Chain A
Amino acid sequence: MSELSKQGLTRRALLSRAVAAGALAVAGTGFIAAPDAAWAVEVTHVSEHQMATLLQMARDIYPHDRVGDRFYAIAVKSYDSAEQKAAVAEGIAALDKAAKDAGFEDYLSAGWEDERVAILRKIEETKFFQTLRGGLVTGLYNQKEVWPIFGYEGESFSKGGYIDRGFDAIDWL
């Protein structure tokens, strides 16, 4: 375990989640990071708990097991702003309340994706959820770095198109 995550794994809720999912950890004050410190998001306006929740929500809304947390972190980073602060606080409070009603300490404490999805379904009509979901459509899938994970090749003009690079190369028909 890296320095970062050692000092970071203090909050019980996140600890349990990190153990369960083995992914994200809260590191100290002001930012969250991957357990291996491969990436980190600094937070200045929202709390680490809120950012960690946003990140988990993003994963649960558009779960791709081959897409690393860092891409989801980039997609939700913009919520750490003065303008979004109130909406995030309110939205996550409502989410955590829905989680409590379902018998969990908070959203992040629900260990299975199915359990968290059931909680999300309770708030999916809210503006907060819809804004987050809508933003992810471009925030996540329009990152050029995620395209190769899906096999998508992006720009092709500079390579001369596919006329000599397999536009009709299907070999299994």
Chain B
Amino acid sequence: MAQAAKFELSDSSVTVIVGSGSGGGVLANELAQKGVKVVVLEAGGRYLPEDYVNDEWESFGQLAWTDPRTTSGDWRVAKDFSGLPAWIVKAVGGTSIHWAGASLRFQDHEWKAKTNYGVVEGANLLDWPIDGAEMQPWYDKAEAKLGVTGVGGRPRLPGNSNYKVFEKGAKALGYKEVHTGNMAINSVDYDERMSCQQTGFCFQGCKWGAKWSAAYTDIPRGEATGNLEVRDHAHAARILHDDAGKVTGVEYFDKDGNLQMQKARLVCVAGNSFESPRLLLNSHSTMFPDGLANRSGQVGRNYMRHTTGSVYGVFEKPVRMWRGTTMAGIIRDEARHDPARGFVGGYELETLSLGLPFMAAFLDPGAWGREFTTALDSYENMAGMWIVGEDMPQADNRVTLSDTEDSFGLKVANVNFSDHPNDIAMRNHAYKVGQAIYREVGATRTMPTPPYPSTHNLGTNRMSEKPEDGVVNKNGQSHDVANLFISDGSQFTTGAAENPTLTIVALAIRQADHIAREMAAGNV
């Protein structure tokens, strides 16, 4: 492997990317492959498969973002986990270390939610400035990169016991599109990574490297080009700009807590949907009094987290759902848009398993007594599934700066969220379906479990055709600042029903292509 690059702080020819997760990590590699010089600032440390631990809380301590955040709104997370609105990673590779690997394309109608869903009171729906046809080649590239199963000739994974229960119940109810999913987990050796060993700790980082993560694919490959330097423990504090309103560099705290400034030709922000708007808001100036790139007032708004929830079923005999891939299968029939169900948009059902320690924390947060403990007593006989559906963007579901400060003295993100009635109707529908599925297979008890701290965080720097409607254009480029890009899930205009990462990756590959072309043309 070539030596990873090292760039001077004063080198104003580099592109600086903030965050090294699914968006930033992929963008960094793609740009480096095209010969663009890149410095990645990543707040977390470096961990590789040999470092990951098959232990839920220990792994959480190793990888999770636990810097302070505050919460408000009527979502239950604000009460049960007031300081932990999201369960995401702070490490090189970002949340692509935690993720389960479900990799689904948007359905065509979902790119145009406003047009297709019509007026939904209280929802701030908008059409994406791109569509399925535009994204198709980028999805192809993203699936090939991630090694997604069930497409491109790659076989699907075998189903574990948790999946078999789910599949049997789903088919008994007449569901048709039921399978082991499109997963960024190798079913056979692929791209120098081995196949899944069914260890069952996908959320804790795959120790076999069978699941795709930027941490051990895109990042080392980008470094091997000699064009990429990843600085870990580098916490971006503020993006600077000149009098012409172009960004010039990024101030960050290095691993010793010293403030540094990396000059830049172009800056890409990919800190996930809380930290990306926070960084822009913290970068306010005389020219941008409400936050950098925020002339529209849209930075931080329209925060989406998918309509989620889980259903667990208890059976007479053991299931041992923790054995094998965490997300081992999917039912797609309810993902369609069919307002006859009482809500717009659709949802996916995917199997899920938590280990005993997380189950105790998340099954019914705050609950105690025998109703709760008898459920855990049957842990071995439980099967589990997760709901992931399209939630409605709402202007006041938003990230703002809190009065609380982090250890660097930077204002932290406050996350305000309340469910839209459409979200509640969808969740209730999914709870009914999920419980019916398990009853079909003889469940003696079913539990509609509330949403966990957010794992999918979207929409706080939304993409829009018109500058007044959003923060970035169809290339993820700021409407206000030509050499500033958003490269993570925060650019989502709407959330669609699908798990977001394949789309984040496809957008990052597409954005790299755009940036390299614009650079070559001398436009940025």
Contact flag A170-B165 (CB < 8 Å), given A141-B357, A153-B322: yes
Contact flag A137-B361 (CB < 8 Å), given A162-B323, A168-B161: yes
A138 engages B380 (CB within 8 Å): no
Contact flag A168-B197 (CB < 8 Å), given A63-B369, A141-B356, A154-B54: no
Query: Smallest CB-CB separation from A63: which chain B residue?
Result: B373
Query: Smallest CB-CB separation from B210: which chain A residue?
Result: A161
Contact flag A162-B199 (CB < 8 Å), given A138-B357, A170-B319, A173-B164: yes
Q: Mark B410-441, 1 if CB is under 8 A from A, else 0.
A: 00000000000000000000000000000001
Complex formed: what's the CA distance from A60 to B370 in Å?
A: 8
Stretch at the interface among A26-34, A90-98, A144-152: A144-152
Chain A residues whose C-beta falls within 8 Å of the C-beta of B370 in the assembled complex: 63, 113
A156 engages B199 (CB within 8 Å): yes
A173 engages B379 (CB within 8 Å): no
Choose from B198, B199, B376, B441 the contact partner of A150 (Cβ within 8 Å): B376
Q: Mark B156-175, 1 if CB is under 8 A from A, else 0.
A: 00111101110010000000
Contact flag A166-B373 (CB < 8 Å), given A152-B380, A154-B355: no
Min CB gap A3→B, angstroms: 34
A161 engages B361 (CB within 8 Å): no
Contact flag A161-B355 (CB < 8 Å), given A138-B361, A155-B55, A173-B441: no
| Cβ-based interface call for A43 (8 A) | no
B54 engages A137 (CB within 8 Å): no
Q: A-B contact count, CB below 8 Å?
A: 116
| Cβ-based interface call for A12 (8 A) | no
Residue of B54, B201, B366, B368 with most chain A CB atoms under a 10 A cut-off: B368
A150 engages B379 (CB within 8 Å): yes
Min CB gap B482→A, angstroms: 47
B168 engages A64 (CB within 8 Å): no
Contact flag A66-B377 (CB < 8 Å), given A154-B55, A163-B197: yes
B199 engages A157 (CB within 8 Å): yes
Q: Mark B193-209, 1 if CB is under 8 A from A, else 0.
A: 00011111100000110
Chain B residues whose C-beta falls within 8 Å of the C-beta of A166 in the assembled complex: 320, 323
Min CB gap B349→A, angstroms: 18
Chain B residues whose C-beta falls within 8 Å of the C-beta of A61 in the assembled complex: 368-369
Min CB gap A144→B, angstroms: 8
CB-CB contacts below 8 Å: B299-320 with A: 315-320
| Cβ-based interface call for B5 (8 A) | no
Q: Which bucket holds chain A's interface residue count?
A: 35 or more
Choose from B158, B199, B318, B357 the contact partner of A151 (Cβ within 8 Å): B318
Contact flag A167-B160 (CB < 8 Å), given A64-B373, A141-B357, A152-B356: yes
Min CB gap A173→B, angstroms: 6
Min CB gap A147→B, angstroms: 6
| Cβ-based interface call for B516 (8 A) | no
Min CB gap A49→B, angstroms: 23
Query: Smallest CB-CB separation from A132: which chain B residue?
Result: B368
| Cβ-based interface call for B360 (8 A) | yes
Chain B residues whose C-beta falls within 8 Å of the C-beta of A113 in the assembled complex: 370
A161 engages B57 (CB within 8 Å): no
Complex formed: what's the CA distance from A155 to B54 in Å?
A: 5
Complex formed: what's the CA distance from A52 to B480 in Å?
A: 64
Contact flag A168-B369 (CB < 8 Å), given A161-B198, A162-B199, A162-B200: no
CB-CB contacts below 8 Å: B125-183 with A: 158-161, 163-165, 168
B57 engages A138 (CB within 8 Å): yes
Choose from B54, B366, B372, B441 the contact partner of A156 (Cβ within 8 Å): B54
Tell me what chain B mostly uses at the interface: helix, strand, loop, or mixed.
Answer: loop
| Cβ-based interface call for B345 (8 A) | no
Chain A residues whose C-beta falls within 8 Å of the C-beta of B208 in the assembled complex: 157, 161
Query: Smallest CB-CB separation from B325: which chain A residue?
Result: A167
Choose from B318, B323, B357, B369 the contact partner of A167 (Cβ within 8 Å): B323
Min CB gap B119→A, angstroms: 42
Complex formed: what's the CA distance from A168 to B366 in Å?
A: 33
B356 engages A156 (CB within 8 Å): no
CB-CB contacts below 8 Å: A108-152 with B: 113, 117, 124, 133, 137-138, 140-142, 147, 150-152
CB-CB contacts below 8 Å: B327-365 with A: 355-357, 359-361
B355 engages A152 (CB within 8 Å): yes
Complex formed: what's the CA distance from A142 to B320 in Å?
A: 18
A168 engages B377 (CB within 8 Å): no
Min CB gap A148→B, angstroms: 10
Query: Smallest CB-CB separation from B49: which chain A residue?
Result: A157
Query: Smallest CB-CB separation from B197: which chain A residue?
Result: A161
Q: Mark A52-92, 1 if CB is under 8 A from B, else 0.
A: 00000000111110100000000000000000000000000
B360 engages A141 (CB within 8 Å): yes
| Cβ-based interface call for A169 (8 A) | yes
Contact flag A133-B368 (CB < 8 Å), given A154-B55, A157-B207, A167-B160: yes
| Cβ-based interface call for B19 (8 A) | no
B322 engages A152 (CB within 8 Å): yes
Chain B residues whose C-beta falls within 8 Å of the C-beta of A133 in the assembled complex: 366, 368
Min CB gap A62→B, angstroms: 5
Chain B residues whose C-beta falls within 8 Å of the C-beta of A156 in the assembled complex: 54, 199-201, 323
Chain A residues whose C-beta falls within 8 Å of the C-beta of B158 in the assembled complex: 167-168
Query: Smallest CB-CB separation from B80: which chain A residue?
Result: A134
Complex formed: what's the CA distance from A64 to B458 in Å?
A: 40
A62 engages B368 (CB within 8 Å): yes
Chain A residues whose C-beta falls within 8 Å of the C-beta of B200 in the assembled complex: 156, 161-162, 167
Complex formed: what's the CA distance from A53 to B128 in Å?
A: 59
| Cβ-based interface call for B324 (8 A) | yes
Complex formed: what's the CA distance from A165 to B158 in Å?
A: 14
Chain A residues whose C-beta falls within 8 Å of the C-beta of B165 in the assembled complex: 170, 173
Choose from B160, B207, B368 the contact partner of A168 (Cβ within 8 Å): B160
A172 engages B323 (CB within 8 Å): no
Q: List 23 A-B contacts (CB under 8 A).
A: A63-B373, A66-B377, A117-B369, A124-B368, A138-B357, A138-B361, A141-B361, A151-B318, A151-B380, A152-B355, A154-B55, A154-B355, A156-B54, A156-B323, A157-B199, A157-B207, A162-B160, A162-B324, A163-B197, A163-B198, A166-B320, A168-B160, A172-B315
The 8 closest A-B pairs by CB, nearest first: A151-B380, A161-B197, A161-B199, A167-B324, A170-B161, A141-B360, A167-B198, A155-B54
